[in-house]
Structure 1
């Protein structure tokens, strides 16, 4: 079922190469959550278009008899960890928190995204003793990466 929904979303956004599917989650109560993102963000009108077209596809298919399903289409949200290489690239220049597979973490500015790793610039120490370092982090050492919002 998830594969069908992923296929339909692919068809719906095929004419918008700047948009990409991040994730689809289906809860046991037939609540379908679709997370789509864009290289320059996800405009609300794109969300509405995707939602309407996908809702129609799901209804037409009859995979949920009696229309017994809920559908939410949105961007992943700032609190969600980055999942795709494309999301990392989109967030170059932003502050991120990287949690490593061993549970340790670093917070710094995402400078570069390569095929197998990222480079994060972080500061060790405070005041006059502060040292700015660049850390190369292989993707296979990353548990999660979350964009940090500063106010």
Structure 2
């Protein structure tokens, strides 16, 4: 039996958070007020899919920032693992640690999912795009790691195709 999860939709106010980043510093949603924010939720640092997605964001960060968006990644990993991930792959944005998965759940990015036909509980790869006031512009769930950043770029009008 699967458990219902609450999904965010366009126009919702983003749930507030304060989490530790890869350096052990507190980062809150409020620290991004006045800027757009792309939050991507991923299952585990340093795994192949998550590395691909994180590096795609890294490679697009300048154009995303020019368009008024900051980026943060949130996973259940501890800050120490996130620090290794950021250093290994040259990630130039905050990776936030949600070890109790409460923020993942609040954003609809944790719950029951089907993995090879079996229902498991875990992180559901998702991306939430917020405007400068913290309102949801786009909520993308069950996304693929590969090609996802390109899809976001098109959604935001950064790629003409």
> TM-score category by the smaller chain?
under 0.3
Task: Kindly indicate which of the two structures has a greater share of residues assigned to strand.
Answer: 1
Higher RCO by CA contacts (8 Å cutoff, separation 6 or greater): 2
Larger radius of gyration: 1
TM-score, length basis structure 1: 0.27
